Structure 1
Amino acid sequence: MILQYLTQEFEHEVTSTRKLLQAVPQKDLGYKPSEISWTMGQLAQHIAIIYYWYVGTLTKDVYDMAGDHLERGDPNDIKATLALFESNVEKARAALKSLTEEKLQDNWTMKIGEQVVLGPMPRGIVSRGFLFNHIYHHRGEMIVYLRATGNKVPGMYGPTYEESI
């Protein structure tokens, strides 16, 4: 039952993420609100990459990011980032389809080489925190970036301010 809800939420939120990434203009990819912040292009790329992490999170008990050679593309090309997003969404869907309710209870760990950076904890908890909530957090940042550069924010949970004026 939980897996069914996660899958439905995933599909709904993919649509919202797609709308947001499609609203990112090529001309503003270099914008960053502070010296320590990512550029808009880097943030968009990071959002697209998180969908790739579903594979290692949902199909492996120990995910070693150091040994994973993920494709990044060019953060200065929004079309490349959108293509990366779509490719990673398909990989994430396949990983979700391979999951079972029982596997949600299995412990999962993330490492970078020999260093444990997350876990061990149940895969279901990791799915919410590391995957779903991580994407929501960075989408919120992207909304701030879009507004700061005078761009329109698409409605994801109903009309936005820009759509109502």
Structure 2
Amino acid sequence: MMLQFLTQEFEHEVTSTRKLLEAIPEKDLRYKPSEISWTMGELAQHIATIYYWYVGTFTQDVYDMATDRLERGDTNDIKATLALFESNVEKARAALTSLTEEKLQDNWTMKVGDRVVLGPMPRGVVARGFLFNHIYHHRGEMIVYLRATGNKVPGMYGPTYEDSRGGR
């Protein structure tokens, strides 16, 4: 039952993430709200990259980020980031369909080389906490970036504040 809910949420939220990434204008990709923040382009690429991590989470018991060789492209090219997103969503979807309820209960670990950075913990907990919530967190940041640069935020869960105020 959990797998069915995760799959439905995944599909719904992919649509929301796509709307958000499509709302990012090329002209603002270098915007950076503070010295320690990512640029808008870097943040967008990170959001697109998280979908790639579904593969390692759902198909491996131990995922070593040090061996990961994902080609990401230029952070100042929103079309490249959107293409990365679409490619990673397809990989994530395929990995998600390979899961079973039993595999969601198996322990999973993330490493960077010899260092364990997450886990071991049940794969279903990782799906919610590390993958889904991670994307939601960074989408929230992107909404702040878009508003700070005067751009329109797309409605993902209904009308946005701007929509409800008649565009003012």
Give the TM-score normalised by structure 1.
0.99
Contact 1:143 1:153 in 2 (8 A): yes
How far, CA to CA, are the matches of 2:2 and 2:71 in structure 1?
30
Task: Give the equivalent residue in structure 1 for 2:58.
Answer: 58
Task: Give the equivalent residue in structure 2 for 1:83.
Answer: 83
Alignment of 1:108-119 (within 5 A): 108-119=108-119
Q: Deviations over 1:71-96 (max 9, x none)?
A: 21110000000000000000000000
How far, CA to CA, are the matches of 1:13 and 1:6 in structure 2?
10
The letter of the residue matching 2:23 is A
- Structure 2: give runs of 5+ residues left out of the alignment: none
How far, CA to CA, are the matches of 1:78 and 1:100 in structure 2?
35
C-alpha deviation, 1:109, in angstroms: 0.2
Aligned residue for 2:63, secondary structure, equals strand
Task: Give the equivalent residue in structure 2 for 1:98.
Answer: 98
Q: Deviations over 1:91-149 (max 9, x none)?
A: 00000000000000000000000000000000000000110000000000000000000
Aligned residue for 2:158, secondary structure, equals coil
1:151 aligns with 2:151: yes
How far, CA to CA, are the matches of 1:163 and 1:41 in structure 2?
25
1:137 aligns with 2:137: yes
What is the RMSD of the two structures over their aligned residues, measured on CA atoms?
0.5
Contact 1:154 1:163 in 2 (8 A): no
- Structure 1: give runs of 5+ residues left out of the alignment: none
Task: Give the equivalent residue in structure 2 for 1:20.
Answer: 20
How far, CA to CA, are the matches of 2:10 and 2:39 in structure 1?
26
Identical positions, percent:
87
C-alpha deviation, 1:163, in angstroms: 2.1
Give the TM-score normalised by structure 2.
0.97
Runs of 4 or more, structure 1, over 3 Å off, are: none
How far, CA to CA, are the matches of 2:153 and 2:60 in structure 1?
36
Aligned residue for 2:118, secondary structure, equals strand
1:2 aligns with 2:2: yes
Q: How many residues align?
A: 165
1:121 aligns with 2:118: no
Contact 1:24 1:146 in 2 (8 A): yes
